[in-house]
Amino acid sequence: MDIAILIIRVFFGLAIAAHGAGKLFRFAGHGLKATGGMFEMVGFRPGVPFAAAAGLTEFGGGILVTLGLLTPFGAAGIVSIMIVAMMSMHVKNGFFAMNNGIELPFLYAVAAVAIAFSGGGAFSLDALLGLGFLHEAYVVMGALVLAVLGAVVTLSLRHTSASVPSKS
């Protein structure tokens, strides 16, 4: 079982970290300025700070999950960002990915919740550093509740009117 958790953690975490790096760095994707422009188009103004927060959350959460370090908190960050992505970009398109629906961010969020509850496993920095208490149900639930609250706050800051984007 620990090998399975390691495989899921490493590949899922690296994929999410790479996605976050694409928001932050031009060599890995569009970079912060272009991503900020896209964020402004969907109502997150000014776009660059929102893009930076999203990119850092994905990159940091992905790295933490990959390493199995503070695993529930890295996973909770991923859940939060996926809730925001689902609600701000994908929900209007239904469920399926072929229509740009919520399917992929939903599956990423579900995987992150499962990782949060399973913990980092024997082959993790959490295990090496004796941080097993982080995988108690009350800690995981607390981290996930904070993730949902963070997503709600972020979504509440979104401008849904057709106002002119800022010049950031």
The Cα–Cα gap between 14 and 63 comes to 7
Phi and psi at residue 25, to the nearest 5°: -125, 135
CB-based contact 65:6 (threshold 8 Å): no
Q: What is the pLDDT of residues 96-132, one digit of tens each?
A: 999 999 999 999 999 999 999 999 999 999 999 999 9
Q: What percent of the chain has pLDDT over 90?
A: 89
Residue range 79-102, pLDDT digits in tens: 999 999 999 999 999 999 999 999
Q: Domain coordinates of the chain in residue numbers?
A: 2-156
3-class DSSP assignment, residue 26: helix
